[in-house]
């Protein structure tokens, strides 16, 4: 397996010395790792998860410290220094990540936070870029409707929030379908709600479509909440979506389906100001 700079790998330990262990870096050679970064009982032949980077001299090195992102990924990072060469951001390793001026969408300021894409420059060195649109596509040929995805919230728009899907492409979370507060840089799970004719992607924090399994889970939560509140809950199918989401973490549509099913089973009674266990 090829060992790539800027990525996580599991490498075999070749030797264990008095102060360091030697890991098999393949074409990158023998890579030393200080014993203080190793588990206490390592032996030759043991696998060890490490991150491969370049040290101050430009030579391959390894660490068990895990940065906020690897090559090809985006993370919300703090700017810790700005000088005549560019900016440096804290990405979780002792050596901060360099963001050259040419890769800054806007001038960076010390103490601020920004979305950064980790990449390898033309000389094979690790660097960061805040020109996110340059790296992230508007469409995807691999995503499917209903698929669970990882999201990083980006800027706010008139319609909602742009979000980066799986570090690869853009999607949109609509404000009128968001029942929770989100912030720029937030990492969260979401779902592909719809892929439009132009290939752009609409997102949701709730799994699209109705499923009996999802309804049963929500129904169980409703009954548990009723039992904990002396059999009554001051929520109805007329309650605001944000109130429903705050209690159960689901959309109003799913909540209505769940209480409808419970009502048909004669488990609950629907009252004007709430629902009650029969």
CATH for 16: 2.40.50.140
Q: What residues pair up with 117 in beta bridges, in sequence order?
A: 74, 129
Q: Are 118 and 75 in contact (CB under 8 A)?
A: yes
Per-residue pLDDT tens over the stretch 90-106: 999 988 999 999 999 99
Instruction: Give residue 228's pLDDT.
Output: 87
Q: Is residue 29 part of a domain?
A: yes
Query: 47 and 101 share a domain?
Result: no
Q: Is residue 142 part of a domain?
A: no
Query: 53 and 97 share a domain?
Result: no
Q: Is residue 52 part of a domain?
A: yes
Q: Are 61 and 70 in contact (CB under 8 A)?
A: no
Angle at 61 between CA 59 and CA 66, to 5 degrees: 140
Instruction: Give residue 260's pLDDT.
Output: 86
Could you tell me the pTM of the whole model? 0.74
Q: What is the DSSP letter of 194?
A: E
Q: Is residue 143 part of a domain?
A: no
- CA torsion sign for 183, 187, 193, 196 is positive
Instruction: Give residue 177's pLDDT.
Output: 75
The number of folded domains in the chain is 4
Instruction: Give residue 175's pLDDT.
Output: 84
Q: Which two tokens stand for residue 228?
A: 């904990």
Low-confidence ranges of the chain (pLDDT < 50): 210
Per-residue pLDDT tens over the stretch 69-90: 999 999 999 999 999 999 999 9
Instruction: Give residue 179's pLDDT.
Output: 66
Q: Is residue 239 part of a domain?
A: yes
Angle at 189 between CA 186 and CA 193, to 5 degrees: 115
User: Residue 42 belongs to what domain range?
Assistant: 8-63
């Amino acid at each position: 397996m090829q060992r790539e700079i800027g990525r996580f790998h599991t490498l075999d330990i070749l030797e264990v010395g008095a102060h360091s262990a030697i890991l098999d870096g393949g074409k990158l050679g023998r890579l030393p790792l200080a014993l203080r970064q190793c588990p206490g009982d390592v032996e030759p032949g043991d696998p060890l998860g490490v991150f491969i980077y370049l040290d101050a001299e430009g030579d391959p090195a390894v660490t068990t410290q895990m940065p906020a992102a690897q090559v090809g990924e985006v993370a919300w990072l703090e700017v810790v220094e700005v000088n005549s060469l560019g900016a440096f951001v804290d990405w979780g390793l002792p050596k901060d990540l360099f963001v050259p001026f040419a890769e800054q969408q806007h001038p960076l300021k010390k103490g601020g936070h920004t979305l950064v894409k980790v990449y390898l420059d033309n000389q094979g060195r690790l660097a960061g870029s805040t020109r996110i649109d340059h790296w992230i596509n508007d469409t995807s040929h691999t995503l499917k409707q209903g698929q669970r995805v990882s999201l990083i919230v980006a800027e706010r728009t008139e319609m909602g929030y742009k979000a980066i899907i799986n570090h690869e492409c853009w999607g949109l979370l609509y404000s009128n379908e968001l029942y929770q507060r989100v912030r720029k840089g937030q990492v969260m799970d979401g779902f592909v709600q719809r892929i439009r004719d132009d290939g752009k992607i609409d997102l949701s924090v709730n799994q699209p479509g109705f499923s009996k399994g999802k309804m049963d889970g929500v129904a169980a939560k409703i009954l548990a909440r009723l039992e904990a509140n002396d059999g009554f809950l001051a929520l109805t199918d007329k309650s605001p979506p944000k109130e429903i989401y705050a209690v159960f973490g689901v959309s109003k549509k799913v909540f209505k389906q769940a209480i409808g099913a419970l009502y048909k089973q004669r488990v609950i009674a629907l009252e004007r100001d709430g629902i009650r266990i029969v």
